[in-house]
Structure formats: structure tokens, C-alpha cells
Structure 1
């Protein structure tokens, strides 16, 4: 699945403090945004997307809060694609595909298994200054 993220016409951005409530706020916002965009709650991509998002936000809160007081979720969608990124200002970039190969049971392995199982993609984009990153998940609708 190759998607030009910049070409997706629907956009929304959420920034929340890097604390436990961030996961709930991100999930609720995701549900609201998808509904506004006409993506129904029972669509087969929605529940896996919510689980993936929850895990990524939780990881940012748990591992990056010391350097990143906020977590930002960027949403984008088009006719047949839903994409989202979780951004924090911690420089560490996890090895996404290594999680699939060997770290069964970890949250990141679950993220990757769900993403790839749906025919989606996952990439890390580092900030220009090297002090943060966004993990982008793209899923077909």
C-alpha cells in the first residue's frame, strides 16, 4: 500500500499532555473524527485502528514524556485510506519491523501485526532536528 499522505484531503490534529489520559482522549477524538468523515464505527478498520493508536500513544506517554511534555496525533483520510501519526519529541526511534520478527507479545509487535494484517503500512519519520519522531500508520478503508 503506497499512499501520498500529503494528498489525503481530510485532516485533523490533536495535541494532548503526555499523561495517562492522553490515550482516552486520543481514542475518543479518533472516533469523533472518523464519524465526522463518514467512516462508520462498525467499519472493519476502526477497531484495529483504535487499538494501534492506543498502543502508540501509550508508548509515547510511557517512554517519551521525560523529553516530550505533549503527544500529537495527526489524522488524514481519503476515499480509501485512513492514516494517522503519533508524534513526540523524544529522539529514540523503535525498530518497527524487528518487533514483528522477534518481540511477540509486545505492544509494538501487536501494532505491526495488525497494521500489516490489514494491508497497511507503518513508517517512522524523524523530525528535521533529530529530536523527535512521528510513527505513521496507513490503513485501507
Structure 2
């Protein structure tokens, strides 16, 4: 997958406050969005996607709320991939996603689930260095 916008024509963006209740809201929005796109709850990518999404939003709520009043979640899909991104404005950049077996906390769990599902994980720093987005891509 090239990551170009035209390869993932289905897109939904959600901005929520960086508070614990947002974890549930993001997860429910993801389930509804995926269903609208024809990716039902029984699809093998949905469970891992929801788990990863919950972990990433929880990490932002726990660690970024001090400097980032909101976080933005992007869902995108095409015929062969489902992509998710969680963006916050906390300046800490964890580097690349942890490799499976690494014990660096939440990103290690994200990396483990993503890798075991055949997906990819990338952390992208904002141009101004004041935030980052964690992008997950899972095969459909």
C-alpha cells in the first residue's frame, strides 16, 4: 500500500476532548463507521483495529491531556486496507512503534497486535515538533 489518499477513498475524521469518556466514543464511532463501509463486526480486522484504537486513545488521554485538550482520530479504508490514526499535540515522540516483545508500555501492545494482524505501525511527528500521530494499517 502506498499510503496515498486515492488508495483509501473512505475517510472519517473525529476530534474529541482528551478525556477518558472519549475512549468509548471513539470505539463506538469506529464500529459504526466500519459497518457503514461494509466492514462488519465479524471481519478479522475489526477486533484488532478496535483494540489498537482503544489503546492509542487511552495513551493520549493518560499522557497528552496536559498539553493537548483534544485528539483527532482518522479512519480510512480502501479495498485492501484499513488505516487508523490517533493524533495529539503532546510534544513527546516515542520514535518508531515498539517491536513485538518490547516492554515499553502501550505502544508495545499496539505493535504486537498490529504485527500479529499483518499490519504496520508508524509514528509521525508534526512538522512543528509539537505533536504526533500514530498510524496503523491493517490488511482487509
Q: Name structure 2 gaps, 5 residues minimum.
A: none
Contact 2:119 2:137 in 1 (8 A): yes
Displacement, 1:99?
A: 5.2
Q: Distance in 2 between matches of 1:27 and 1:49?
A: 9
TM-score, normalised relative to structure 2: 0.93
TM-score of the aligned structures, taking structure 1 as reference length: 0.92
Structure 1 unaligned regions, length at least 5: none
**Segments ≥4 residues shifted beyond 2 Å:** 95-102
State the Cα distance separating 1:101 from its structure 2 match: 4.5
The residue that corresponds to 1:44 in the other structure is: 44
Displacement of 1:128: 1.1
Q: How many residues align?
A: 139
What's the Cα RMSD here?
A: 1.4
Post-superposition Cα deviations, 1:16-74, rounded to whole Å, max 9, x if no partner, equal 00000010000000001000101011001101110000000000000000000001101
User: CA offset at residue 118 of structure 1?
Assistant: 1.0
More helix by share: 1
1:70-105 Cα offsets, whole Å, 9 max, x none, are: 01101110011000100000111114444535307x
